[in-house]
A and B are shown apart, each in its own frame.
Chain A
């Protein structure tokens, strides 16, 4: 017994699995080995290893125990058996009750290697000779030697995280054994990559979110990043992004910067991805890892402040037979709902035009020698006034217009259902010393806009070879992508009046007013000029705008084993991409005809001079980028025991240097008088001011659009990362990085602060004192460190910009864009992350909870500067920001029978607060204007601030607002005030709570899943009527017009101000930014539903050529289930039409 206990202790320490605190209760009069095995499995998570031989000899025995230890329980069963038991790790083996350490000289020695499915060695696996107490463990190379073993015995191999395996030794001199990962949803088996190394999430201290292949493929999309939406903890897709305010479309754990780059770093395999994200074929992606905290991301230093998205592509595997896979799907999307965005209807719009006409508003335009556009309705009204049209005739014309709605024609003539197709085929496999992956993909998207389409071809080849006794590994990869795009349909932007029509009843294209007054166009030039009419439907046919992109990427990785546990790697990547946009506007297009006509000059003798030559116009935009990365890295990986084998240590470390060069050329070119066939063009005089044909008092130069620029990014980075594991349950990690670049100027780099992090984790459930049965897995983590952020727009020097265009005197010019800033520093982002990972028994419920604190210091900010300095805006390290939040992930097996019901709940909270921002905007209206970033100390960076709406003036219907403690209607004083107290803070403008609930139901081969997402804790400003903009053509109006104040008393039931002439921009601003137009953004959405059928080939069925196939249907953008606002606004789409519903059908074959 003593001996058993001793070996037990050794075994426990060895495997770090001493969790036998479980109490077993069992009662059976005739307990068989099978019963015992089940109980052990269920109540203690221990497997019992049996062989047929032992099964036959073990007798059923009566066992009655209550709350006893595993040992006591086993003792009770084995006390009268011819066998006894021995516990090794989390396994129990049965040993004959005779001398168990006999070693006869005739016995043999077995050598072997234990590998995982990827062909990687498994260190510290246990090899046990079944039925004896003889065992050994593998070394770091997964190799083992068992000496003095009886022939014809089974050996059992086990290791944490792997399925135990038993096999019969049949005389092989060297065994090569593969172990399979335990099939579990527990995230502890996940392998996460940070772009520098791969590690199991179980031994990580940092915060990772991993999207595996299955989850990635649940969604159907052309763009890989879209597939992260709603399934990634802590990651949110921002909607209604305003490009003027430096918002990003994706944010991980909220916001870390103000004016610097707000986008997460995207890493493809080893290096930051510099190309167009659409060039990545999702079918080539194996998994995606999101690095969320300082520890996981700090290895990326100055690039990691916004989190990192690591995309890992598919590779072949060693010792795998050729596998072919084919995937194809078709996605059909509805037309976007043209009627979603509120628009003042034709009836209302005409009413407004009549009102303005009667006020004499259009008289100036009518008389203007510049011949501005006058709307069809106003032309009719003018004709009545001039007596050219009878009242009755005019009224019938107006009635016709009142019934027209431009959206009918837009929907009918400009849009269609979208159809996206994807085809992808890949082949992978590998032998002992090599593996490969080849793929080809083709996708074709017909967009919702007619005549706009996109297609993509991708080719991938990856090859890995092992040489010199597996000491040297060489990996080569080539990826090629070509995309072709047509952008011929610009949508409805030229339709500026709601009653315009695109086509007559016969479908013939109709003329709409544009640029120059139509009545003038009709007669101008007496027929000498080119046709001056704009017919959008014809334009759609004539448009010829193509965009072609080619990109390729070549990787060479070489890894050399230098010594045991130490290898050196050199990784090189060459990446190049070209893009060329050719927008050919033939002489038939309106753009060209209009430009030629405007720049036509009539000589006194009636001859025409075309300053813009006849012929087409070609606009060309080319981009060409080249990125090169080289990394030299040393990897150290060693684990060892102390002498008494009682202490286990493991150390992994890496250190390296990385150099990056990125160069991008950007060129735009315009050719006038372009002949597409001959590819010839005509020179024009860009310097002379020409009088415009329709307005000779105006003189303009011919538009010049030639530009060339090169951007260069260069980085030299040093990094270091290490992790130490003690007893498999205590983990310490640290990393550091220093970046130097050409962006700041060398002086600043020399002062550069290295960014670093430290982390620790403790697998508390591995401790002896841990006795919580229902929670067999519990791990605590904490990390602390700094990330950084890059801003390309700043420099330590006085920087000037050289203009492409010369001044009117023919001399080149430059201007200063950046005043000198010798104290410029890198932005720093401090993050502390606390995490708990847990799993209940049999992983019925598992998940993690993480809480983080973040603080951005030395943030680069644009701050208004006293204009007396000569600079109105200054960029420097001027701001601080802090935030905190949590991410919760819960996975549950609600039903786990033949019918399975799994749920995954993601819930995140994130908030931020500007803690230091010294500069205030000059007037408070800036805080309401969504086109400015106006940080306010103590409030989130993006906040909704409003004027306090105090009702409508009962006698005039104009808005009343709050000013300096009282109501006020002096609008210029209200919005011009600089006291923040005159504003109401409504709340954050971005969701603070968000998450998703994904339920998966499966029955046999059928699987149904649907994802519900929500966002809450934020506000948005809804649009309403803006009279000033409506009058001056800046807005199409809003149906709130119908609810406007019209007579005293209306103020009791409406908040929409009266229409007043002349319109007051100040009053409009006060109403538009008032709190009466602020709504809560909270909403719940049914994002998508997926249905699939999997067929796996029966082993006996030989006729089928495929191993497996899968049929799937995926419906996306299904719509809102609940929203807090009652205005019919989807808070994700305030000023845009929601993404249309799509449905995809697909099939995948594996051969």
Chain B
């Protein structure tokens, strides 16, 4: 009854012309809010279904697996034609998560970055404020990096100023018109954002919230970015900065290799949890059976290499298929992990001619991968030899993590000369090294609505 009196009172107030705005300020829905506080921003950052997904088209186009024609037919158009490197992979279909999801992350980050200056910084909230800003910058850089790996040519110092990068949206305003930046500008933005993030993010590692970026993760991402650019000195430096803060490796001997799910989301090597697009029809548990591991990849593992048992299982036809990855979930792990950092540092040492340091890194990782007592440390006569060893183990350590496509682009540019082939329903498709097809087309709805320039593929 008191409620009613209150209501009548409010009504009277409204009639009297006062307090009306308060009456009309009530939220229309209890579960809606206008994000303005650090807590609100944290809710957005913690939405890992948006923030912690990465594109999958690169993995689908890479050489880690093949599938059957029957199953291929049930795939979404972009995955069908991405799989066979067709010049037009979308066939008119828009709403491509590989483009849209990273930009959703950029938008969320921008909402936060625009809202943060309106929050008064005090000694009580300063740490939280900085960490929030660092997180937003991290996610924006992560998104731009994932985009540029698919939709722009590989970084080349000599052409980067003219090569088309991705649109760099830096404000949440949807009315802004933003055209494609150059590849150089894109990387500059990624590096600038990440450098700032490393200054802002807390130096605490979130053991139980591995979806949240940390200082170590920001260094890890910088290492990955520089590696993809072929700037090995810096890549190695940042991998080192990362490992100085977090260098946990897990001995695979401690894991249960009989289960289909040997890892879980708190797996100690994961620096940042993210996964390949959940909307994909491939590389997820429900379709593992149709996703047959490339035989040369599978056969490259020594029988005493535990990765063969922990990464793969054998299906009813005797063919190798995947197990759950570093997140223990049905979707492919695509995040940052310490094993990748060891490999980057090792590779960069090797490229700098520091053979011993390179081998030391490689061996500290590999002794965690082989069956106990069966491991003999790798040796190499030269740094180049070491580099080859490292690249081979990189191939074996990081498949199905969304990294292979970037590696193919980078290594082919350096002359690795890797040609990909697929056989589907009797037809053979090939992807020659350094082909224009290594730069994926921009989705048609983006071209039509955003009016940006399309990549030339033919």
Bound pair (A, B) = yes
Residues of A within 8 A of B434 (CB): none
- Interface check B87, CB cutoff 8 A: no
Contact A865 B48 (CB under 8 A): no
Closest CB of chain A to B398's CB: distance in Å? 23
- Interface check B255, CB cutoff 8 A: no
Complex interface: stretch among B39-47, B58-66, B125-133, B241-249? B39-47
Residue of B nearest to A663 (CB): B26
Contact of A710 among B11, B29, B210 (CB under 8 A): B29
Complex interface: stretch among B67-75, B301-309, B336-344? B67-75
Contact A800 B32 (CB under 8 A): yes
Contact A976 B92 (CB under 8 A): yes
In the complex, the 5 A-B pairs of residues with the closest C-beta atoms, listed nearest first: A870-B107, A976-B92, A866-B450, A814-B43, A922-B94
Residues of A within 8 A of B94 (CB): 864, 867, 922-923
Closest CB of chain A to B20's CB: distance in Å? 6
A149–B111 alpha-carbon span in the complex (Å): 87
- Interface check B25, CB cutoff 8 A: yes
Contact of B43 among A712, A714, A812, A819 (CB under 8 A): A812
Residue of A nearest to B173 (CB): A820
A811–B24 alpha-carbon span in the complex (Å): 31
Q: Could you list 17 A-B pairs, sorted by A, with CB under 8 Å?
A: A630-B8, A657-B15, A659-B14, A689-B329, A709-B30, A711-B28, A712-B30, A716-B23, A746-B21, A746-B25, A809-B210, A815-B47, A815-B50, A819-B172, A819-B174, A820-B174, A870-B107
Residues of A within 8 A of B74 (CB): 1032
Residue of A nearest to B167 (CB): A868
A740–B21 alpha-carbon span in the complex (Å): 9
- Interface check A608, CB cutoff 8 A: no
Contact of B449 among A809, A866, A1062 (CB under 8 A): A866
Residues of B within 8 A of A865 (CB): 174, 449
Residues of A within 8 A of B95 (CB): 867, 872, 922
- Interface check B325, CB cutoff 8 A: no
A755–B24 alpha-carbon span in the complex (Å): 19
Given contacts A799-B34, A922-B93, A976-B91, contact A712 B107 (CB under 8 A): no
Given contacts A364-B70, A800-B32, A809-B209, contact A742 B452 (CB under 8 A): no
Given contacts A742-B28, A870-B104, contact A978 B449 (CB under 8 A): no
Contact A797 B34 (CB under 8 A): yes
A699–B49 alpha-carbon span in the complex (Å): 18
- Interface check A768, CB cutoff 8 A: no
Contact of B11 among A367, A630, A977 (CB under 8 A): A630
Contact A368 B289 (CB under 8 A): yes
Contact B29 A711 (CB under 8 A): yes
Contact A802 B31 (CB under 8 A): yes
Contact A714 B46 (CB under 8 A): no
Residues of A within 8 A of B49 (CB): 807, 813, 815
Closest CB of chain B to A708's CB: distance in Å? 8
Contact A869 B445 (CB under 8 A): no
Contact of B7 among A661, A740, A798 (CB under 8 A): A661
Residue of B nearest to A874 (CB): B174
Interface string of B73-103 (1 = CB under 8 A from A): 1100100000000000011111110011001
Contact B24 A742 (CB under 8 A): yes
- Interface check A1049, CB cutoff 8 A: no
Residues of B within 8 A of A809 (CB): 46, 48, 208-211, 265
A114–B110 alpha-carbon span in the complex (Å): 74
A800–B33 alpha-carbon span in the complex (Å): 5
Contact A867 B103 (CB under 8 A): yes
Interface string of A359-374 (1 = CB under 8 A from B): 0110010011110000
From 165 to 214 in chain B, residues with beta carbon under 8 angstroms from any chain A beta carbon are 167, 169, 172-174, 176, 178, 208-211
- Interface check A826, CB cutoff 8 A: no
Contact of B450 among A800, A802, A810, A868 (CB under 8 A): A868
Contact A867 B446 (CB under 8 A): yes
Residues of B within 8 A of A689 (CB): 328-330
Residues of A within 8 A of B111 (CB): 798, 816
How many chain A residues sit at the interface, stated as a range, is: 35 or more
Given contacts A798-B111, A807-B48, A816-B108, contact A920 B448 (CB under 8 A): yes
Residues of A within 8 A of B290 (CB): 364
Given contacts A792-B28, A815-B50, A816-B107, contact A977 B92 (CB under 8 A): yes
From 917 to 956 in chain A, residues with beta carbon under 8 angstroms from any chain B beta carbon are 919-920, 922-923, 925
Residues of A within 8 A of B176 (CB): 869
Interface string of A652-674 (1 = CB under 8 A from B): 00000101010000000000000
With A800-B40, A870-B110, A1062-B73 already in contact, 16 other A-B pairs whose C-beta atoms are closer than 8 Å: A367-B316, A628-B7, A659-B11, A698-B330, A712-B28, A712-B30, A802-B43, A812-B46, A820-B173, A866-B451, A869-B107, A870-B105, A923-B93, A923-B94, A978-B92, A1032-B74
Residue of B nearest to A741 (CB): B24
A749–B106 alpha-carbon span in the complex (Å): 31
- Interface check B134, CB cutoff 8 A: no
A808–B35 alpha-carbon span in the complex (Å): 22
- Interface check A574, CB cutoff 8 A: yes
A809–B15 alpha-carbon span in the complex (Å): 49
Residues of B within 8 A of A574 (CB): 4
Residue of A nearest to B147 (CB): A868
Residues of B within 8 A of A798 (CB): 34-35, 111, 172
How many chain B residues sit at the interface, stated as a range, is: 35 or more
Residues of B within 8 A of A709 (CB): 29-31
Residues of A within 8 A of B329 (CB): 689, 699, 808
Which of B43, B104, B167 has the most C-beta atoms of chain A within 10 angstroms of its own C-beta? B43
- Interface check B288, CB cutoff 8 A: yes
- Interface check B443, CB cutoff 8 A: yes
Contact A714 B260 (CB under 8 A): no
Closest CB of chain B to A224's CB: distance in Å? 29
Which of B24, B106, B317 has the most C-beta atoms of chain A within 10 angstroms of its own C-beta? B24
Contact B71 A814 (CB under 8 A): no
A574–B74 alpha-carbon span in the complex (Å): 55
Residues of B within 8 A of A711 (CB): 28-30
A871–B285 alpha-carbon span in the complex (Å): 29
Contact A699 B33 (CB under 8 A): no
A697–B73 alpha-carbon span in the complex (Å): 23
A630–B444 alpha-carbon span in the complex (Å): 53
From 705 to 726 in chain A, residues with beta carbon under 8 angstroms from any chain B beta carbon are 708-714, 716
Interface string of B430-446 (1 = CB under 8 A from A): 00000000000001111
A701–B288 alpha-carbon span in the complex (Å): 19
From 633 to 689 in chain A, residues with beta carbon under 8 angstroms from any chain B beta carbon are 657, 659, 661, 689
- Interface check A973, CB cutoff 8 A: yes
A925–B7 alpha-carbon span in the complex (Å): 52
Contact B35 A869 (CB under 8 A): no
Residues of A within 8 A of B422 (CB): none
A976–B176 alpha-carbon span in the complex (Å): 28
Residues of B within 8 A of A919 (CB): 449
- Interface check B27, CB cutoff 8 A: yes
Closest CB of chain A to B35's CB: distance in Å? 5
Residues of B within 8 A of A716 (CB): 14, 20, 23-24
A1062–B100 alpha-carbon span in the complex (Å): 31
Contact A868 B452 (CB under 8 A): yes
- Interface check B261, CB cutoff 8 A: yes
Interface string of B259-270 (1 = CB under 8 A from A): 011000100000
- Interface check A69, CB cutoff 8 A: no
Residues of B within 8 A of A803 (CB): 31, 47
Interface string of A813-840 (1 = CB under 8 A from B): 1111101100000000000000000000
Residue of A nearest to B102 (CB): A870
Residue of A nearest to B450 (CB): A866
- Interface check B364, CB cutoff 8 A: no
From 859 to 910 in chain A, residues with beta carbon under 8 angstroms from any chain B beta carbon are 864-872, 874
Contact of B27 among A364, A712, A1032 (CB under 8 A): A712
Given contacts A661-B7, A711-B28, contact A867 B100 (CB under 8 A): yes
- Interface check B279, CB cutoff 8 A: no
- Interface check B286, CB cutoff 8 A: yes
A797–B33 alpha-carbon span in the complex (Å): 9
